Each structure stands twice: as C-alpha cells, then as structure tokens.
Amino acid sequence: MSAITGHFSYWVTVFLMVAGLYIIISRTNLLKKLIGLAILQTSVYLLYIAPGKLIGGTAPIIADGFSSYSNPLPHVLILTAIVVGVATLALGLALVVRIREAYGTIEEDEILGQED
Amino acid sequence: MSGEHLIAAALLVPAAGAVLIAGAGRWPNVREAVTIATSAVLFAAVLALLPGVLDGARPQLVLLEMLPGIAIGFRIEPLGMLFALVASGLWIVNSVYSIGYMRSNKESRQTRFYACFALALSATMGVAMASNLLTLFLFYEMLTLSTWPLVTHHGDDKARAGGRVYLGVLLGTSMGLLLPAIIVTWALAGTLEFAPGGMLRDAGLSGAALAGLLALYVFGIGKAALMPVHCWLPAAMVAPTPVSALLHAVAVVKAGVFAVVKVIVYVFGVDTLAGAPAADWLPFVAGFTILAASLVALRADNLKRRLAYSTVSQLSYVVLATALLAPLSVAAAVLHIATHAVGKITLFFAAGAIYTASHKTEVSQLAGIGRQMPWTMGAFAVGALSLIGIPPAAGFLSKWFMFQGAAAQGSWAVFAVLALSTILNAAYFLPILHAAFLRQPPAGEAVHGEAPWTMVAAMMVTAGATLALPFVASVPLGLARSVAGLSP
Amino acid sequence: MLEHLPALQVVLPLVAAPLIVLARHRGFAWLATTAVSYLCLVIAILLASRVMEGGAVSYAIGNWPPPWGIEYRVDALSSFVLVLVALTASFVAPYAHRSIAAEVPAERHYILYAMYCLCLAGLLGITITGDAFNVFVFLEISSLAMYVLIALGKRRKALVAAYQYMLMGTVGATFYVIGVGLLYLMTGTLNLADMAERLRAVEDVRPVLAALAFITVGIGLKLALFPLHQWLPNAYAYAPSMVTAFLAATATKVSVYVLLRFYFGVFDPSALFERLPMREVFIALSVAAMLSASLVAFYEQDVKRLFAWSSVAQIGYITLGIGLDNQASLTGSITHLLNHGVTKGAIFVLLGAVALRSGAISVSVASLSGLGRRMPLTAFGLVIAGLSLVGIPGTAGFISKWYLIVGALERGMWWVVAVIVGASIIAVGYVWRVVEAAYLHPAQGATPVRHEAPAGMLAAALGMVILCVYFGIETSFSVGAARDAALLLLGGAR
Amino acid sequence: MKDDIILRVVAKLLMPFMLVFALYVQFHGDYGPGGGFQAGVIAAAAIIFYAIIFGLAAGQVLAPDWLVETMLAAGVLLYAGVGLAGIALGGNYLDYFVLDADSVTGQHRGIFWVEAGVGCTVAGVMLKLFYMFAGRSRDAEDA
C-alpha cells in the first residue's frame, strides 16, 4: 500500500487538525474560532476511531462464527471526548453570546480595542 | 539559667518587646518604658552569658531543621559575644536618647519606630549568635528588612529614594552573591556549621577558586560596606538620627564586618587563606575603601554624610586587619568592632543633638556652636579623638594593635595606609572641632542651648565609655584574643 | 472505609456539586463547599501518611484490576499534589463567603460554588488517576468549571479572558489527547505504568516522538510554559478574587504534575534529556519566562496582573527544575509547587480583601497607598507573602530556590544560578513597589480610617501567610515529601 | 410558527412517539445500540421540538427551568450514588458485581441505574443549553 492510500485516515486526521488550528489562529471572529476548535477536536475522534476498526471485524460480542472483533475501547473514549467537546462548544457559544451583549461585537480586534 | 535559656531569651526578649510596643502604641509613656525595660533585660541576659564564655564555655541552642542537615542553631563564641554585648549595651543608651530625640522633633509613627527597632535588635542578636551560615543569613536578611521601615521613617520622596538604595544594594548583594556563596560552600564542605580552622580547610580548592569564593562573600556581605557596595550607607542617613547612631554605626554595619570576620576565620580559616594566595587582593580593596571614603568624608558638608563615610572607612579597617591574616591583626579587627562602636555612636548622638537643638545639619553652619552646646560638642570631641586614634580614647587601642599587626606581617603598604588614613581622619574631624570651639558664631544667632537632658545624658554615657574602655580593656581584649587563637 | 479513600477523594466534591445545584441555596452551597474542602484535606493527609508509611496506594475503580480498568494511584508525588490542592481549597472555601457576596450577583452564587466543587474534583482527579485518558477527562472537567468561574468576574473583560483561556486550554487539552492517542496506538494501553513498560519495547520511535511533542505543547499550554502563557495574566486578573486565589495556587501546579508524570513516569527520562535537546529547551524557556515575565510585572500597574505575571515567572522556576533534571533541582521544583501555591494563594486572597474594602473594580498599585494604615494586618500579610515570593530566608520561597540553585550548581551551570538570583532581585523590585505604595505613599483623600477585612476572610488569609513562613522554617513535610517524589521520579519506578 | 396548522398537528402527534422512542432506546441500551446518551438527546429533542413550534414559554411550561436543573443534578447524583452503593455493599467504587448476589445481575442493575442517570443528565443539559440560547431576545443583544 502506498503512503497515501494506506494511511488515508491519517491524512484526513492531519488535514482536519491543521485546518482547525489554522482557523483558530487566523480568524478574528470569535464564532469562527469556535468552528476551528470543533474541527480540531473532530480530528481527534478520527485519530482514535479509525485504527480501532478491523476490516471484517464485528462488534465485540462473543458469538459463534465470529473470530475478529473491532476494538470497542476507542469508541468509549471518543464518546467521552465528544461529550467534552460538546460541553466546550456550548460553553464557548454561551461566552460568545455574552461577549456580544457586553461589547456589541464578536470581532476580537474590535473587542480588544475597546477600553474597559 | 542555663546558656540555652539565655540565648533563647536574647532572641525572644526583643521580639516580644516589639509586640508589646506595638500593643502599647496608644500610651507613649508605657511604650517607651517597655522599650527601656526590654533593652535592660536583653543586656542582662547577654551579660549573664559573658562569664561562661570568658571561661571557655560555648553555650548553644539548636532549633528545628530548616533544610535537611541544616538546623537553625545558635552557639556563642567570643566574637559573637563581643558583638552582642556591644549592640545590646548601646541599645539601652540609644533608647534613652531616642525618647528625647523623637519627642523633641515631634516625629510621627513612633510606635512603628520603637517596634522595628526592637525587631532589628532581635535580628542582630541572631546574627551575633548564629552557629551556622544559614542561620546567619536568615537573621542578616531579617535585619535588613526590619531596618527598612526605620530608614524610610519620614515617608517622603527622599526617604523613599534612600530606602530603595538601601534595600536594593543590601538585598541585591546578599541574594545575588552571598546566597550563591553559601550554597557553593554547602556543596563543597557538606556542612554550614562554623568550625575553628575553617570548614573549607579540607575542600582542597585552588587559590583562584578560593579567591573567587572569598570575593562572593566579601562583596555579598553588603553591610560591610566595602567599595563599591558601600552606597547604601550614605543613603541610609535619611533615617532619624537614633537609627543612624545605633543601627548604621553599630548593629547593621557591625553585623556586616562581623560576618566578614566570621567567614574568614570560620569558613575559610586563616591558615587556608594564608596558605594559598587567595586573599591577597582583599587588603587592596579595603585599603582603597579606607582612603577613598576618607577623601569623600573630607569633602562632605552634611555632618551625617561625613560621619557615614567615616563609618565606611572605619569598617574597612576591620576588613583590612582581618585580611592581613595575622593573629594579632585579627584580634585588632575584633577589638575595633567595639571601639569604633562606642566612638561613632557618640558622634551620631552629637549630630542628632545639634539637629534637635538648632536644626543645623551642615558642617559649615557649626561655627561657634560649642559655646551654646558645650556638653554636646565635648562628647563630639571625645568621639572624634577616638576615631583619629589619640589616647586615651578607645580608638587608640585597636589602632595600636593594627599597626603592630601590620608591622609584624611586614606589610608596610598597610602600615602606610593606616598612617595616611589617620591623618585624613584628623583632617575631617579637627576642622569641626575648630569651628565649634574657636570660631565666632555668626551675628544674630538664636540662642538654643543644649538638647533635652535625655540626649545629653546618653551622650555622656557613651563618651564616658569611649574614655573608659582602654582602662577596662581586659574583657574585649580577652574575647578578641581568643577569636584570633591567641592566649587570652 | 479507609481503603476507599482514593475514590472518596474525588467523589466527594463531585457529589457536592449536584447537591448544591439541587438545593439552590447560598448558605447551603457555601457550607457544603467548605465541608467538602475540609474533608478533602483530611483525606489527602490520610493518604499522604499512608503513602509515607507503606508506599504507593492503588485503587481499582469498579474492581477492574489495572491495566484493564481505571486505576487510582497515590504515590509520593501525587499525594504531595493532593495535599497542595486540598490545602488551598480548605483555605479558599471559608474565605469565599464574604468575597463572593461582594463580587458576584446573589442568584449566581450556587452556580459558582457548584463549579468550584467540580473544579476541585477535576484537579484532584487529574492528580490521583493512573489512566492517561482519565487525566484528559478530569482535565476538561476542571478546565470547563474554571472557564465558567472566570467568566463570573465582575468586569466584562472577564468574559474575554475566559474565552481566550477556553480557546487555548481546549487546544492544549486536544493536543494532549492527540499525544495520548498516539501512545495508545503504539502500546495498546492507557494505564500510565503499563504504558511506560510497553514503550520500552517499542521499535518505531517516530510516533512516540510526535506524542512527546503533542503532550509537551498541550500540557505546556495548560501550565503556561513561557511562550504559551498568554491566557494567564488576563484570566488571573479578571476572575473573582476567590477564583484567582484558587486558580493561581492549583491549576498550573496540577498541570506541572501531569508533565512530570509523563516525562519521568512514561517516557524514558534519560533518552528525553540526553538524546533529545529537552534540557536545553526547558532551561531556555524557563530562563526567558523568569526574566521577561518578572520585568513585565515590574512595570505593571494593576496589582492582580502584576502578580499574575509574577506567576508566569515563578512557573519558570518550576520548569527550570525539570530542565536541570537532577535530584536537587526536581526537589526544588516539586517543593516550589507547594511553596509557590501557598504564597500566591495568600497574595490573591489578601488582594481579594483589599478589593472588598476598596470597593473598586480593580486594584492598581497607586490605589494601595495608605494600606498600611487602613488595613494593617492585610498589608503586613502582603509583605510577608511578597518576601516569600522573593525568596527571603525564613519564608517558603527560599527553600525551593535553595534547591534549584544547588541543582544548577550540580550541573555546573553558573549562568543559571545568576539568572535565578537575578530574577529574584527583579522580584524584590516589583514586590517593593507594592510595599512602598502600602506604607510610604500617603493615602489619597481624607485621613485613612482603619477598616480591616472581615474576620473570617482575614483568618483564612493570615492562615495562608503563616503557612508561607511555616514551610520556610519547618520543612520536614514539604522538602521531605518532595525529595521522596523526586527520588521516585528519577528512580524510574512509579 | 404557532400559526401553522400542519406543524402544530404533526408536532402534537409526534411528541408521544418521540418520548416513547427515547424510553425504548434508554432501556434497550444494554442489549443493542442505545443507552442514556442517545435517549437523553431524543427526549430533549422532543421537548425542544415542541418549544420551537409552540414557543419557548410553552416549552418551559412542560419542562420548567427548575426541573431541567434538577434533572441535570439528579442524574449526576444517581450516577455517583450507584458508585457509592458499590462501596456500601462492600465492593470498590462503581463496583457493579456486588450490587446483587449474582454478579451478572449485579452488572445489569448497575448499568441500568447508571444509564438512567446519564439519560437524565443529558436530557437536562440539552434543554438547559436550548433555553440558554433561545432565551436571549434579539433586542437585548443589540442593546
């Protein structure tokens, strides 16, 4: 397998990771930064889930006729990570709403430009 | 009471005094009575330790371990005994003087003043009695910090600036140079306990390494006011005069030279330093400080500033004599701690009395003042003569031994520095006496008379002590000789 | 019951949070928080004494033995950090009552206390767990709670500070979890001890190196390692006083703990520091932090920001000890976790009292004038804690600095010694600006009236100040435990 | 959207089924796909759906704010309580084996209650989030 197709999921992971980080760093809009954050976190989900899957493997329930199972642990971990991600996003959005109420804008440079 | 209890008392009595003083702030008379009682009790405690120490006992007290292997410990040896005796004894006199000074000048924040003073004395006792470098360092820094409120007492811009220099130089040198030096010593010797013969005796350091470490110590102990780390002392003169008198002529500066002597004798060991050419540079620095400070004093018109630079130069006598590394000169250095103390405190008392009575601060204003304040200027004359080294005043005694030590070592350069500086001493003190007693006061001078009686009395006591010291020299001399390893 | 202490350590504050939400009552919220904080301290001390007597304590959650289940593991290092967190909490909680009443609208109090309990649970959880992913979960629990706590600050800038902290913190946590993911892919385990063993057998080191990089940057963000510290000053400055005190004393310290765990417990420290340039990197970053942040602090006008910058510098001291990587320096680092935690906690608690009495929205250096007259005990406490920050002998800060200097000398790095003392001297500068303002500048306006902080607050504040001195003189616990922990880390054992 | 008759009727019809489906997912969780997370979200979605159609006020009559917060806290408490029950019955924290004499039944019992707690909390959180954002009027925002 070539370096590209054989590591396909990793390439996607890396792309999402870098794209997310880039958005966080380059955008001044607080909402867009949150979107970047969400994309960054999504890359983690993929990083964990993809290697856990065995091609041809089934859910890890012992039954006759099945010998290869996918690893369930990454799913459990990522379920937790997703919950954490949702909580972070919700909190971030709540903060953005309140920032907008307090400052009248969600552009970072405009906010930092305002005096106290 | 055993030695242990007495040591604890010497440390705790002034600290407890400080608390009581702070509590009694509302009643000035009670507060000042507490100050004097505290100082008397402290002196009694220190005095009670003296006979044992003279007989060769070395009482000690070990508190908890501050770092694994390094305890906060106290041990009284002759050098510390002498220092503690001088500081606590003069505190009584100074307290009496302070009452007159602070009340007649209507100083504010007197409670803070007395409380910090007591705290500073507690720290001084800690320095004097410390049995290891870490304890010494602990109380050394405590002394710096507890005297800062005294230096900045007036709270104006000048006081703030002086306070910044004071703290900056003293903390900067101690943390920047002294602390690394202590840690290096700990790493090399594996102990910080002061040991006769020196804790670095067996460390096997090269001459250059020893010289470097010695430099860290000598300049790290900023309180010894060796040039170029002397500038805090003139800056500290913004303090009220009793502070300059007791702390910046006796306790703080003497803690500095005391620490230097301790380091040379007990950390390096006189023989270690003499064996390797490690301390050869020190006499030059000390000699330079003596002469340069004297020259500055010569040009200073402000009386307290002149006295401060005189102190800088006198402190370097102690360092110079110790750096000669001859037993006789070390004894002279120790003795000088005592003799300079009584002389210089008298001079500061007089300067404060002049300020209180006439509000004069400059030397050029002093023409004819001896006619209005004969007692004050008489005391001033005694102190000045002592510092110049004219018998029978006390300064003569230590200077004599210093000359002897220099001659015995064949250090003619040191001999010459001592001689030259004596002339300079005379040159900056005698014109004051001349102006005070022999010149006419300017026309239309207000009549102000003497300062309050408590101040005059205090001055008389210290002047008397200056004159009497040579006649009761057996105690300080005995202590000094046993520090230097000579038979008492 | 005693064998369940490791679980109870985390569960107690975790249960307290929903109870507080259910009760929705200010007084109950405060009482529950305080009670839980004290209980946590008792548990932490019991655990520490058990570790000192009988070595590490292991607890299998759900009775699933490690490495399959989640293991709670208390050893010399984690018990030390547990004590630090619980100790801070038990000083901050009783103090919070008045401070919060003045700074946060009453209807939000129960949220604040619930979040505080969650944060406490998270921090204790990070410290106690032996599972890499569990660390992430607790990290996020504590961080999310912390963002909310910061956003409750009085000024609108608190919202922006919380947002920035959230952004950086989440990136940090995500990086951490990426690093853990890579390690999991290489070893197939999440148990830290098991991971360390299996890593020894890993042939392909490139993913491990990537994991190291991700974890270092991720945790570096959380602990405000020098160029990653941008969130810290604002977060400290605009959070409610009680939150600042708690945050400053614990959050970054716990992150340092995670870093120590990974560097010395999971990766191979000898490879890390000998074959990779980690020593140079850490020393360079720490030195930069110590000098630059101290200088910024020196010129800062807002007192809370001043001490926040000082925290960045002090974290530099801690990471310096990691970079020097010998027993003395690690002892210094670990001791400094506690010593700096107590010191900074004391300072921010006292500043909270000052803010309460001045009623102003922020405390500038100039507004401290006359503090020595208005609030003598508070001002005196600030002086003592400031001295501890500088590292004057007789205070806690001195002890850790001593070990750091010894560590630098053992490496023969004289210039590092110079930097340590140089940064301390700058610290004298910024501490003294505060002291001068408090004592030497005449009060503005009318003659100052003595108006000390409420007794409860003052007691908590002075308690922490006393600890600053206590840990400077009696060091058998702080240095003793830190030395055990350093030995443990360097011995390669867990 | 209150005025759209189709939406109103469909919403009223769908609501019970959504809630029942949530319960199904909840209780079927230990045998098939499902569990507290999904069930909580579905249940919350039903209420949110209702609130979108009939207005926030109507939704909050159905699930008032205090109830939402209580659910949120009670779920966590339930979870933690199961863990503590493990200790009380002589096992470790979150030890399901000891919840019944038969360890397999014990596992079932533990999972059941834990999932109930999770579902409760997730539904609470979802509703809380919805109320938090939906409760802000545009005027306040622009002020």
**pLDDT tens digit sequence for C222-253:** 999 988 999 999 999 999 989 999 999 999 99
Q: Report the interhelical angle of B110-129 vs B252-262 (nearest 10°).
A: 10
Q: Give the range among B119-133, B409-423, C421-435 with minimum mean pLDDT.
A: B409-423
Compute how many other C-beta atoms are within 10 angstroms of the C-beta atom of residue D135: 11
Residue B415 Cα to chain centre, angstroms: 24
Q: Note the pLDDT of residue B411.
A: 81
Q: Residue C449: pLDDT above 80?
A: no
What distance in Å separates the CA atoms of residue C332 and residue C311, rounded to the nearest whole number?
16
Q: Note the pLDDT of residue B487.
A: 60
- Enter the tokens of residue B394: 């006390």
Q: Is C136 on the interface with A (CB under 8 A)?
A: yes
Average pLDDT value for chain C: 90
Interface test with D, best of C63, C64, C108 (most D CBs within 10 A): C63
> Quick check: A51 and C137 CB within 8 A?
no
Q: Residue B390: pLDDT above 90?
A: no
List, as ranges, residues 150-209 from C with C-beta within 8 Å of A. Answer: 151, 155-157, 159-160, 162-163, 166-167, 170-171, 173-174, 177-178, 181-182, 184-185, 190
Q: Which of D37, D132, D140 sits opposite A101 (nearest CB)?
A: D140
Q: Which of A79, A90, A97 sits opposite D136 (nearest CB)?
A: A97
What distance in Å separates the CA atoms of residue A26 and residue D91, rounded to the nearest whole number?
52
Instruction: Spell out the domain ranges in chain B.
Output: 280-488
Interface test with D, best of A34, A80, A83 (most D CBs within 10 A): A83
Q: Which of B64, B149, B172 sits opposite C474 (nearest CB)?
A: B64
Q: Which of D66, D84, D97 sits opposite C11 (nearest CB)?
A: D84
User: How many interchain CB pairs under 8 A, A with D?
Assistant: 16
- Collect all residues from C whose CB is shorter than 8 A from any CB in D: 1, 4, 7-8, 11, 14-15, 17-19, 21-22, 24, 59-63
Residue A60 — very low, low, confident or very high, per pLDDT cuts 50/70/90? confident
Tell me the three state secondary structure of residue A107: strand
For residues A76 and C44, which has the higher predicted lDDT (pLDDT)?
A: C44
- Enter the tokens of residue C378: 């508070």
Token look-up 């320096």 returns C329
Residue C444 — very low, low, confident or very high, per pLDDT cuts 50/70/90? low
Contact flag for B and A (3+ C-beta pairs < 8 Å): no
Where helices occur in chain A by DSSP H, the ranges are 8-26, 30-52, 73-103, 108-113
pTM for this prediction: 0.91
Residue D106 — very low, low, confident or very high, per pLDDT cuts 50/70/90? confident
| Contact yes or no for B174/B144 (Cβ under 8 A) | yes
Question: B: neighbours with 3+ CB pairs under 8 Å?
Answer: C
D142 sits in which H/E element: helix D138-142
Q: Is A101 on the interface with D (CB under 8 A)?
A: yes
| Contact yes or no for B21/B112 (Cβ under 8 A) | no
Phi-psi region of C253 (alpha: psi -120 to 50; beta: other; left: phi over 0): alpha
| Contact yes or no for B447/B371 (Cβ under 8 A) | no
Q: Is C392 on the interface with B (CB under 8 A)?
A: yes
> Quick check: C167 and A92 CB within 8 A?
yes
| Contact yes or no for C66/C130 (Cβ under 8 A) | yes
Residues near C446 by beta carbon (within 8 Å), at least 6 away in sequence: none
**Residue of B195, B53, B60 whose CA lies nearest to B488:** B53
| Contact yes or no for D84/D96 (Cβ under 8 A) | no
**Residue of B306, B318, B335 whose CA lies nearest to B472:** B335
> Quick check: C428 and B175 CB within 8 A?
yes
- Enter the tokens of residue B375: 């007692």
Q: Residue A85: pLDDT above 90?
A: yes
Q: Residue A51: pLDDT above 90?
A: no
| Contact yes or no for B454/B406 (Cβ under 8 A) | no
Tell me the three state secondary structure of residue D55: coil
Compute how many other C-beta atoms are within 10 angstroms of the C-beta atom of residue B193: 16
Structure confidence by residue, pLDDT tens digits, B315-328: 999 999 888 888 88
Q: Give the range among A29-33, C310-314, C482-486, D139-143 with minimum mean pLDDT.
A: D139-143
Q: Note the pLDDT of residue D139.
A: 47
> Quick check: C440 and B145 CB within 8 A?
no
Q: Note the pLDDT of residue D143.
A: 38
**Hey, CA dihedral for B149, B150, B156, B160, is it positive or negative?**
negative
Interface test with A, best of C61, C68, C146, C177 (most A CBs within 10 A): C177
Q: Which amino acid makes up residue C310?
A: S
> Quick check: C163 and A51 CB within 8 A?
no
Secondary structure string (H, E, C) spanning chain C: CHHHHHHHHHHHHHHHHHHHHHHCCHHHHHHHHHHHHHHHHHHHHHHHHHHHHHCCEEEEHHHCCCCCCCEEEECHHHHHHHHHHHHHHHHHHHHHHHHHHHHCCHHHHHHHHHHHHHHHHHHHHHHHECEHHHHHHHHHHHHHHHHHHHHCCCCCHHHHHHHHHHHHHHHHHHHHHHHHHHHHHHHCCCEHHHHHHHHHCCCCCHHHHHHHHHHHHHHHHHHCCHHHCCHHHHHHHHCCHHHHHHHHHHHHHHHHHHHHHHHHHHCCHHHHHHHCCHHHHHHHHHHHHHHHHHHHHHHCCEHHHHHHHHHHHHHHHHHHHHHHCCHHHHHHHHHHHHHHHHHHHHHHHHHHHHHHHHCCCCCECHHHCCHHHHCHHHHHHHHHHHHHHHCCCCCHHHHHHHHHHHHHHHCCCHHHHHHHHHHHHHHHHHHHHHHHHHHCCCCCCCCCCCCCCCHHHHHHHHHHHHHHHHHHHCCCCHHHHHHHHHHHHHCCCC
Task: Name every chain C residue with its beta carbon within 8 A of the beta carbon of D84.
Answer: 11, 15
| Burial (CB count within 10 angstroms: exposed 0-12, middle 13-18, buried 19+), residue C284 | middle
What distance in Å separates the CA atoms of residue D135 and residue C297, rounded to the nearest whole number?
42
| Cis peptide leading into residue B149 (ω within 30°) | no
Interface test with D, best of A75, A77, A84, A86 (most D CBs within 10 A): A86
Q: Which of B77-86, B477-486, C187-196, C335-344 has the highest mean pLDDT?
A: C335-344
**Residue of B81, B73, B76, B84 whose CA lies nearest to B3:** B76
| Contact yes or no for C225/C319 (Cβ under 8 A) | yes
Q: Note the pLDDT of residue D141.
A: 44
CA distances for B84 relative to B125, B137, B207, B252, C413, angstroms: 6, 17, 34, 12, 39
| Contact yes or no for C32/C113 (Cβ under 8 A) | yes
State residue B67 phi and psi, 5-degree precision.
-130, 155
Task: Name every chain C residue with its beta carbon within 8 A of the beta carbon of D92.
Answer: 4, 7, 59-63
> Quick check: B179 and C473 CB within 8 A?
no
The shortest C-alpha distance from D15 to chain C (Å) reads 28
Q: Which of C133, C148, C160 sits opposite A99 (nearest CB)?
A: C160
Q: Which amino acid makes up residue D106?
A: G
Residue B256 — very low, low, confident or very high, per pLDDT cuts 50/70/90? very high
As a whole number, mean pLDDT of residues C218-222 equals 94
The shortest C-alpha distance from D100 to chain A (Å) reads 23
Compute how many other C-beta atoms are within 10 angstroms of the C-beta atom of residue B158: 12
**In degrees to the nearest 10, what's the CA dihedral of B52, B57, B58, B64?**
-80
As a whole number, mean pLDDT of residues B26-46 equals 90
Q: Residue D138: pLDDT above 70?
A: no
Tell me the three state secondary structure of residue D45: helix
Q: Which amino acid makes up residue B53?
A: V
Q: Residue B245: pLDDT above 90?
A: no
List, as ranges, residues 58-87 from A with C-beta within 8 Å of D. Answer: 79, 83, 87
Beta bridge partners of C57: C74
Contact flag for D and B (3+ C-beta pairs < 8 Å): no
Q: Is A100 on the interface with D (CB under 8 A)?
A: yes
CA distances for C437 relative to B152, C112, C442, C447, C484, angstroms: 12, 33, 8, 16, 42
> Quick check: B141 and C393 CB within 8 A?
yes
**Residue of B354, B355, B386 whose CA lies nearest to B373:** B354
The shortest C-alpha distance from C304 to chain B (Å) reads 23
User: How many interchain CB pairs under 8 A, C with D?
Assistant: 59
Q: Note the pLDDT of residue C147.
A: 95
Structure confidence by residue, pLDDT tens digits, B203-237: 777 878 888 999 999 999 999 888 888 889 988 88
What distance in Å separates the CA atoms of residue D143 and residue A3, rounded to the nearest whole number?
55
Q: Which domains does chain A have, with CATH numbers?
A: 8-113 (1.10.287.3510)
What distance in Å separates the CA atoms of residue B256 and residue B267, rounded to the nearest whole number?
15
**Residue of C122, C208, C127 whose CA lies nearest to C169:** C122
Tell me the three state secondary structure of residue A29: strand
